[in-house]
Amino acid sequence: MSEPRDYLEMSFRSIQCFANDGRLDVHELGSLLAVAERDGVIDENEIRVLKKIIAQIKPEELDQPMRDKLAEIAQKIGA
């Protein structure tokens, strides 16, 4: 069985999200999380990619829905 490549899809999609308008919104972040969860397990590569994506979010982009989604992700990945 080959290694899952969802983290590559997540990376590519995140580039598209940021290129769209320079920011990541809560719906885009949710869609990236959905890719990570698609196989039922968020693996180490997906966690690494999620953390790198989250690190690019600027403080002024953190409205309450984004904070809620980030808290959900932190709970799921143990961050």
Structure confidence at residue 1 (pLDDT): 43
* pLDDT on residue 79: 72
Asked if 14 and 32 touch (Cβ cutoff 8 Å), the reply is yes
For the stretch 3-45, pLDDT in tens is 678 999 999 999 998 898 889 999 999 999 999 999 999 999 9
